[in-house]
Amino acid sequence: MRSFFGLRTNTPDDAIYYLTAYFPAHFGQIRRHLKFLKRIALQPCDRLLRKALIQAITTGKSRKISLLRKSLAKLSGLIGFEWSMPVDRILQIFVNMQPNKIINTLENNFRSELSSRIVENHLRHGRLFFLQETLASASRFVFLDSLQPYLAAATIKILTSGHHLGIETGRWNRIPQKERICELCKVLDDERHALFHCGTFNVERETFKDQLIQKGCLTDDLEETTRLILNRPHPTDDQNLSRLNSVANYFRIVLKISLERYHNNRTLSSTDW
């Protein structure tokens, strides 16, 4: 899934990946795990699986590092047990637990925490700042189903700071945010500046504008036009899809040029030594 969208681990790309693919599957896996645990706890006392579960609980009570204890590390509070409880009590809790209810709580907590993290990230001009500024909702990218994978990847990278603009590369080098400036324009080198103002991309931007004019959708504000195209609820008809492809392709070109510029600057810096 990550390779399909061209996403990188340990970046905000992961937040989107979790939201759209990984976590729904992960929650399903936890549900199956809990149902299996309950089914074993319900078996007669002389069954081998139930004896194995009792042994696993006993091991978990005496050792902080055990498979069962590790697998239930973040669920014990929701299930309602503590490892200090007697084995019989823990078994009874496994029998009475409601896996579907636990999963619903987990999903609601995840969505709430993710929303809070995105808002906090936006307030400090973090990696998801441009995402929040551009999309009406971070929970569903309606354009992903319509774009070719390489264009979808470029769009996601721009929206989640998966690029080589100064605002991102400065994070890698621990440069204060105010000092991550565009060498040409002497202002903050973020996504908004690069896409809609930076002189480095003037030629590409004019080509992009001409495409939008030909498709009858350019307003006086290029940024607002781009935002409107990305937020269309049904970008599947030929006209809207053509506009969406133009936006995504412009993103792809900006990504490519900024990557080349970053590597060129690194090469120049290394020759200075």
Domain boundaries, the chain: 2-102, 137-272
Which regions of the chain does DSSP assign to beta strands (E)?
none
Residue 166's pLDDT is 95
> Which tokens sit at 212?
């939008």
To the nearest 10°, report the CA torsion of 141, 146, 152, 158: -50
CB 134 within 8 A of CB 227: yes
What pLDDT, on a 0 to 100 scale, did the predictor assign at position 273?
45
In the structure, what pLDDT confidence band is assigned to residue 1 with cuts at 50, 70 and 90? very low
pLDDT at 91: 92
- Return d(Cα 142, Cα 121) in angstroms, integer: 23
Q: Give dist(CA 54, CA 91) in Å, integer.
A: 8
Least confident interval from 143-147, 148-152, 258-262: 143-147
